[in-house]
Amino acid sequence: MEFNVFVIKQQWPLLVDGAIMTFFICSASLGLGIVLGLILCFGKLRRRGIFFRISTVIIDVFRTLPELVPIFWIYSAGPLIFNFRITAEGAGIVALTLYSGAFLAEIFRAGLQAVPRGQYEAANSLGIPVFWVYGVVISPQALRMMIPPFINFICDLVKVSSLLSAIGITELAYHASVISGETFRYLEIFTVAGLLYFMIIFPLSMFARFRERKLKLAV
Amino acid sequence: MASTWRRLRRSGAGESVVGYGSLLGLAALCYATIDWEFLSHLDFSIIYQYRLPLLKGLGMTLALTAITVVIGYVSGILLAILYQIPFRPLRWVITVHVEIWRNTPLLVQLFWVHFALPALTGVSTSVIVSGIIAMSLQASAYLTEIARAGIDAVPKGQWEAAHSLALPGPTLWLTIVLPQAMKIMIPPLANTAISFFKASTLLSLISVGELMTISNTIANYTFKQVEVLTAVGIVFFVLGYAFSGLTYRLENVLQRSER
């Protein structure tokens, strides 16, 4: 079987549309997920009390469940239980927000806890106000530690967003399966779709590895 | 006044008030939006009625995970050993393999293996075989990376001692390097096994017949999505949580033996 370039040339715009949708979904759920992750992270850092318990449950549930379960649950069971209707895109963004919130909370927590205890103590003993302790002393060090796992998480999020094709969101994997179903050119279309994903994910993961190496050298 | 306020803050009462308050608000929101008529008609006996196919699906999920992890583990270690051979083209091939399978979504790999690979090779595979091939290729890529890190972490002195004793290759690998590397590899290996347990749900998209496929079929057949999906979610959560708890324990045990 020969590799038919014509099909790719013909269907290229649809695939690019799909890639844009993937980008849109990922950035929306990443933005919302950062907010949720920060809230959950502060809840988890309290170590006791009602906030701690709620955020521990949310983090544990959405880290352990396979991603497909919340996606299907919110898309098909959610509207049955709750009195509101939700579009496929909305359901997908909600599911990915919960997923990324849970993972990002743990990443933020690990970053904050990796800052040595002495830094807090030194800042406190210098009489720096609490707000400035976190803003000027802790967060620059914590952010530097967070960058590699954060970028790695974005890679995972892009990969997971391909699952949204199962509930009919018109992102890259969905367009790829529809086009290849119509034209019977599975080899060409899926190779190109895989390459597009690779082009999105590979630079990110290379950057994460570069930062990680730099971090290891600095310590 | 100020001291009372400080005592209130120290005791954490204010936090509890805010916490329970937001919880109450959330509960009120749920109460307003939940369709109670529907909720009262939920029928969880459907799970008991379809327990045999569901259990079969669970067994299939676990079997697929085990097969994937074993194949991925063996091929990952082999690739990591081959990577140690100082022959450039071989290293490039292994690196390309690892990068391709690590940096594309499993969904695309699955469809590629199931629909596109037969066009290349001329051999058409069944859904189960395609699922196993796609998952174990990705597992081998992840585990090559893990095994490489494990082998790199074996102290240089061990290699030098083995070389100075003129030990043959198989002895060097099987009795010196791999046992020490294995200990470092175990926690990430367990984490990879959990992530492939989670990833096996993806195989439902090509209807392999594991838990997710069967639950989707039952849900669509009986129109009881809420019950079936919730039950399956609980099963996945309990198993995944137990696995990750065991991994955490294992990590602690290994760390203690290190000291």
Closest CA to A147 of A117, A96, A107, A201: A107
A23 Cα to chain B: minimum distance (Å): 14
Class of domain A6-218: mainly alpha
* pLDDT given for residue B182 in this prediction: 84
Alpha-carbon B65 to chain mean position: 8
- Report pLDDT digits (tens) over A179-217: 888 888 888 888 888 999 999 999 999 999 898 888 888
CB nearest to B108's CB, from A67, A69, A190:
A190
Q: Which residues contact A182 (CB under 8 A, 6 or more apart)?
A: none
Residue ranges of domains in chain B, CATH in brackets: 41-258 (1.10.3720.10)
Q: What is the mean pLDDT of chain B?
A: 85
* pLDDT given for residue A101 in this prediction: 94
| A-chain residues near B200 (CB < 8 A) | 66
* pLDDT given for residue B64 in this prediction: 92
What distances in angstroms separate CA B26 from CA A37, B23, B31, B47, B218, one per listed residue? 18, 5, 9, 29, 32
A44, pLDDT greater than 80: yes
| B-chain residues near A49 (CB < 8 A) | 12, 15-16, 19
ipTM above 0.85, yes or no: yes
- Report pLDDT digits (tens) over B120-145: 888 888 888 999 999 999 999 999 99
Higher confidence at residue A40 or residue B33?
Answer: A40
Contact predicate A39/A52, CB 8 Å: no
Higher confidence at residue A139 or residue B36?
Answer: A139
* pLDDT given for residue A46 in this prediction: 82
| B-chain residues near A50 (CB < 8 A) | 15-16, 19-20, 23
- Report pLDDT digits (tens) over B67-104: 999 999 899 989 998 888 888 889 999 999 999 999 99
Whether residue B233 and residue A198 make contact (CB cut-off 8 A), yes or no, is: no
- Kindly state the DSSP code that residue A161 receives in the 8-state scheme: H
Helix H or strand E encompassing A144: helix A139-161
* pLDDT given for residue A26 in this prediction: 93
Of these ranges, B35-44, B61-70, B80-89, B172-181, the one predicted with the greatest mean pLDDT is B61-70
Cα–Cα distance for residue pair B257/A218, rounded to 1 Å:
29
Return the domain boundaries, chain A. Answer: 6-218
- Report pLDDT digits (tens) over A57-110: 999 999 999 999 999 888 888 888 887 788 888 999 999 999 999 999 999 999
Cα–Cα distance for residue pair A62/A56, rounded to 1 Å:
10
A10, pLDDT greater than 60: yes
Residue B207 CB coordination number (10 Å): 14
A85 — contact with chain B (CB < 8 Å)? no
* pLDDT given for residue A153 in this prediction: 93
